[in-house]
Structure 1
Amino acid sequence: GGNFLERELGLSLAEKVGLIFGDPFRGRAASVRHDTLCHILAQMVFLPISKIREQLIKAGDLPSLFALSTVKKKADTPVASAVVVKTLSHLSSTGRRRRTEVLQDLFQQCGRLERYVLAGLILGKVHLNVSGRQDLILKALSFKYGAGLESLTSAAALLDIFGLCDLLEEKGIEGLKEVTLKPLSPIRPALAGSNIPSDLKFPAWFECKYDGLRLMIHKDTDSQGRALAGAFTRRRNDWLELIKGVHNLVQLLPCRSAILDGELHGTILDRWGAPRPATVYEVHSYLRGESPVPVNLKYVGFDLVYLNGHDLTGLPFRDRRRNLETLLTPITGMPLPLPVVLSQGSRVENKEQLNRLYEQYRHQGHEGGMVKVESSTYPIAQRTTNWMKRKPEETLDLVLTAAFWSDPTAAGNRPFDSFIIACRSPEGFKEVGTVAGVDAGTSVQVVQTIMSQNLLTGRTVEHRGSRNTSAGVELAPGLVVSVKFEGIVRPDPDRVALRSPRIVRLRVGEIGPYEANSLEDLHQIQLKHGLG
């Protein structure tokens, strides 16, 4: 790693690190999607897009199909890494037509291996076989610049590894003095790292786990006393203008500056007119103006990492919680455009108290609960075993009725990124959600079953998600899978959907589609849990 970073290649330090990570876009969203590459390949080989998608199933993944699309084993003139990286990094600033022309030209210059690697880089599927890449890079940077490893690790958490490289290359080790936690500079939040173990040590803090959008609210005050606000998602996107009421909330916070961690949560009316917690998908759809029913939003604060010029991440959770309660209590319950509340939580002395609180949260319709070690600090941008989840999981046997081509961000060589799952109903098979794909090994079994049982109907399907539209193929009912889930919700009066579904097993040769779970089974489970 160190030798590569030192070499003169015509690349910046951040661009070299991007190559090591297999990420020429340096943490930003790729400007070229899977479906766009399919269309580019179709134009290059003069085939209809439907034929490309058929070939994709046989090839296994898009990089392999690009490699098979040329008879040239090697490029006539080797394509320099710097050319590829510089070209890809500037694609987002070009128009769609120009972007397509540039990529076609780049692919035409490549031999088989180069085409495979180029397509893989664009789709985020190329990684050097280096375990703990970021740790290795930080050690190399420590040696190169003579900086302490701990200070580099902290800076990378605040900036990300690419931002750190840009800073070091521009300002050297002196630039690290500028890297501090401060309002309006987004950070990635701490994440729960495990489920609650059977030997959990008590006492512990146990709080409600809400189904919402992770949101860090920032407040700062300028020299004229005006409040400045930010509302950053887990991916550090600022949704301030998307979420109405954040400005009002921030102005009323009784402090000069703060960074709160919490969830944008909502309440919705079910078909009987009773309120229930909205799912994260319903909250997201409402913000995008796609929800058929209104969602009453509120901000649930569960941590405080910065207050009045002081970084609180090094304090124990119990102290951060005390500061959070002091900050939010005066404005909790106020009739704001975006109301703010403290997360429900309590100190528990034993497993019985924890179970009692957990059942209370579930009865309220929430996801479950979260244990937090009271003495733990706040690890920015890291998963921590000091935060432990407890959520229910159940299993249903459902039928795959459509398969969507792999997403650009999907890892591994898998032709399908996700599937539509359906249950039996009097009208046939009724969709109950979209489930993420399976691992590479199981994916091979899925493809083999689809082909051997002739499940492809020849019809294409599309799924409009919160981020993009996925293209796929319709499947005849035939492949049954066991699916774990965490609850059943009603996105609208005539539809049920699974919360957080996940395929855990293929039921090939075990049960047929007409032995899968029925819509009535889902209604019974929903009734049992009181989630309707």
Structure 2
Amino acid sequence: MRLADVIETSRAVGSTPGRKAKIAAVAELIRTAGPDEIHPVVGWLSGEPRQGRIGIGWRTLAAARPEPADQTSLSVGDVDAALTGLTTISGSGSTARRRDALVSLLGAATADEQDFLVRLITGELRQGALEGVATDAIALASDVPQTVVRRAVMLSGDLGATARAAMIDGADALEAFRLTVGRPIRPMLASPGESMAAAHAQLGPDLVVEHKLDGARIQVHRDGDDVTIVTRTLRDITSSVPELVELVRALPCTLVVLDGETLALNDSGRPRPFQETMSRFGSAEGELLLRPYFFDCLHLDGVDLLDEPLERRIAALDAVAGEHRIPAIIRPSAEQAQAHFEAAIDAGHEGAMAKALDSVYAAGRRGKSWLKIKPEHTLDLVVLAAEWGYGRRTGWLSNLHLGARDPDGGPPIMVGKTFKGLTDELLRWQTEEFPRHERDRDQHTVFLHPEIVVEIELDGVQTSSRYPGGVALRFARVLRYRPDKTAADADTIDSVRELRAGGPASS
């Protein structure tokens, strides 16, 4: 299969409005791919090379980009092998050798192929917007039920590997996928809830209400003395959090997989700013100690608990890490649930979670068995551009262009602008950081590759013909940037539109 075939499908999917048509196009490409091409092809369409992050930035690629080839000649195998080669280059002289390898690859590519490869290598395609489409396309192409494919993707953490197994060996191969201690799985996410009273009425009396901490999501795996800790995006941070590793090694078990959050506290026991917690993920150094708060147990000493009801998983969690469990109350009355929510706010946390005690663990937002309730409307949006400021903000990148994720695989959809909430510290950070993500600029604006996620507080959403999604944010203001999230974690245009109807937002 040619690289050009993949690009043609990617372009067709991006320009096709209907989800069914997108799924059909991707499914046809998967059917056409050879056994060794399935994994890279599916990964590329969702922005994930088989080799993982290549670790090459825009400036390196720009310096290595030669004149494009006149005719297409690159195959999927050629590109996959070249990407593997790039990940193996290290040691003395590696910078020059990496540049030579890039020149060789890009020199064999046409202009369209160069653009695609640059976006793939730098992670611009890694929006996750196409993941749902690709998952359903795997099911269609392989004639395997969607539920089986989705579960296999959760357990493997690898869309391409799941596609290859489905196409070669079918449903039996996917049903054989098991949770493996030490191999991260994709996390279950909560849907937005309107209020604690509404959540209690929706889920019924058999629920647990937990504090929703202003921390960072972590997944912990322990096999004997071997401990692995990853973020919500499955990035390995084990070496940066030795205090968490030590704590997990001391738990009374041999094998365990835990889901939870971690954060730093001040001397009074209140959460420190989110950015201070995130700063520890890049370095083991620093005086701040992270504290874990676990809310789920997915495996304990040889027993998989994914398909067990949450109530049993909580019992396992209490048995192995009860003293580190997130503050929670089981089967509260509506009044008790509201009091627990208010206690979380008073303690400096974001809000509360309401979860059905009979819910099983499923990656992503599947149904409404987990609900998150916050006192204010917030959205996680993608920064599309920033305008140069004027007056007191002259010389700083200021007014942000904000986009919501297209759930059907298109580029983010602009829903508004704001400069409110930007402190001098954030203005300085933006002005330094945004040019590293620049894709274009004019006299007034720097346009960015859609990679940076910002949390926005707003009063609501109104119908508007000004923006392509038909809606615009009302009184939007910046709360904070979310380095723990990628564009794949941003809220969708559907979540924004729900606010117009008076429904909740996601965060």
TM-score (norm 1): 0.61
- The 1:312/1:443 distance shift into structure 2, 3 A limit, reads closer
Spell out the pairing of 1:72-91 with structure 2 (5 A cutoff): 75-76=70-71, 78-91=73-86
Spell out the pairing of 1:107-186 with structure 2 (5 A cutoff): 107-122=106-121, 123-125=123-125, 132-142=133-143, 151-159=148-156, 160-165=158-163, 179-186=177-184
- The equivalent of 2:403 in structure 1 is 438
Amino acid at match of 2:187: P
Aligned: 1:13 with 2:12: no
- Residue 32 (structure 1) shift: 3.0
Contact 2:50–2:160 (CA under 8 A) maintained in structure 1: yes
Contact 1:485–1:499 (CA under 8 A) maintained in structure 2: no
Aligned: 1:235 with 2:252: no
Secondary structure in 2 matching 1:219: strand
Which residue of the other structure, out of 426, 433, 438, is the alignment partner of 1:463? 433
- Residue 119 (structure 1) shift: 3.6
Gaps of 5+ in 1: 46-69, 222-226, 333-340, 396-409, 447-459, 487-496, 505-532
- Residue 474 (structure 1) shift: 11
Contact 1:484–1:503 (CA under 8 A) maintained in structure 2: no
- The 1:483/1:240 distance shift into structure 2, 3 A limit, reads closer
Per-residue displacement from partner, 1:6-31 (whole Å, max 9, x unpaired)?
54658433123234x25361372243
Which residue of the other structure, out of 175, 187, 200, is the alignment partner of 2:202? 200
- Residue 388 (structure 1) shift: 1.0
- The 1:241/1:387 distance shift into structure 2, 3 A limit, reads same
Amino acid at match of 2:275: Y
Which residue of the other structure, out of 25, 29, 53, is the alignment partner of 1:29? 53
Per-residue displacement from partner, 1:267-300 (whole Å, max 9, x unpaired)?
135xxxx553023321121343499x73232110
Q: Distance in 2 between matches of 1:141 and 1:230?
A: 33
Aligned: 1:379 with 2:362: yes
Aligned: 1:279 with 2:273: yes
Per-residue displacement from partner, 1:450-492 (whole Å, max 9, x unpaired)?
xxxxxxxxxx94229xxx9656989989xxxx98339xxxxxx
- The 1:310/1:381 distance shift into structure 2, 3 A limit, reads farther
Q: Distance in 1 between matches of 2:339 and 2:116?
A: 53
Q: Please tell me the root mean square deviation across aligned C-alpha atoms, in Å.
A: 4.7
- The 1:498/1:5 distance shift into structure 2, 3 A limit, reads closer
Q: Distance in 2 between matches of 1:382 and 1:78?
A: 41
Spell out the pairing of 1:485-524 with structure 2 (5 A cutoff): 485=457, 498-499=479-480
Q: Distance in 1 between matches of 2:287 and 2:249?
A: 25
- The 1:352/1:476 distance shift into structure 2, 3 A limit, reads farther
- Residue 205 (structure 1) shift: 1.8
Q: Distance in 2 between matches of 1:165 and 1:320?
A: 30
- Residue 321 (structure 1) shift: 1.4
Q: Distance in 2 between matches of 1:130 and 1:320?
A: 28
Amino acid at match of 2:210: E
- The 1:305/1:126 distance shift into structure 2, 3 A limit, reads closer
Per-residue displacement from partner, 1:234-288 (whole Å, max 9, x unpaired)?
233333332123343233322232211111121135xxxx553023321121343
- Residue 387 (structure 1) shift: 1.1
Q: Distance in 1 between matches of 2:104 and 2:29?
A: 28
- The 1:8/1:167 distance shift into structure 2, 3 A limit, reads closer
Aligned: 1:213 with 2:202: no
Q: Distance in 1 between matches of 2:152 and 2:491?
A: 38
- Residue 349 (structure 1) shift: 4.6
Secondary structure in 1 matching 2:242: coil
- The equivalent of 1:288 in structure 2 is 282
Aligned: 1:97 with 2:96: yes
Amino acid at match of 1:279: P
- Residue 316 (structure 1) shift: 1.3
- Residue 136 (structure 1) shift: 1.8
Q: Distance in 2 between matches of 1:99 and 1:422?
A: 38
Amino acid at match of 2:125: K
Which residue of the other structure, out of 261, 274, 282, is the alignment partner of 2:259? 261
- The 1:394/1:433 distance shift into structure 2, 3 A limit, reads farther
Q: Distance in 2 between matches of 1:503 and 1:182?
A: 30
Contact 2:403–2:415 (CA under 8 A) maintained in structure 1: no
- Residue 212 (structure 1) shift: 1.7
Spell out the pairing of 1:345-384 with structure 2 (5 A cutoff): 345-347=328-330, 349-380=332-363, 383-384=366-367
Q: Distance in 1 between matches of 2:27 and 2:455?
A: 45
- The equivalent of 2:304 in structure 1 is 311
Q: Distance in 1 between matches of 2:374 and 2:397?
A: 20
Contact 2:351–2:375 (CA under 8 A) maintained in structure 1: yes
Q: Distance in 1 between matches of 2:363 and 2:288?
A: 30
Which stretch of structure 1 is more off in the superposition, 22-31 or 369-378?
22-31
Contact 1:393–1:485 (CA under 8 A) maintained in structure 2: yes
Q: Distance in 2 between matches of 1:421 and 1:304?
A: 48
Q: Distance in 2 between matches of 1:209 and 1:421?
A: 36
Q: Distance in 1 between matches of 2:131 and 2:266?
A: 46
Secondary structure in 2 matching 1:379: coil
Contact 1:187–1:381 (CA under 8 A) maintained in structure 2: no
Secondary structure in 1 matching 2:368: strand
Q: Distance in 2 between matches of 1:434 and 1:445?
A: 10
- Residue 151 (structure 1) shift: 4.7
Task: Figure out how many residues of one structure are paired with residues of the other and give that number.
Answer: 402
Identity between Structure 1 and Structure 2 (%): 22
- The equivalent of 2:294 in structure 1 is 301
Q: Distance in 2 between matches of 1:194 and 1:27?
A: 34
Q: Distance in 1 between matches of 2:180 and 2:82?
A: 34
TM-score (norm 2): 0.64
- The 1:10/1:470 distance shift into structure 2, 3 A limit, reads same
Q: Distance in 1 between matches of 2:337 and 2:216?
A: 25
Larger helix proportion of the pair: 2
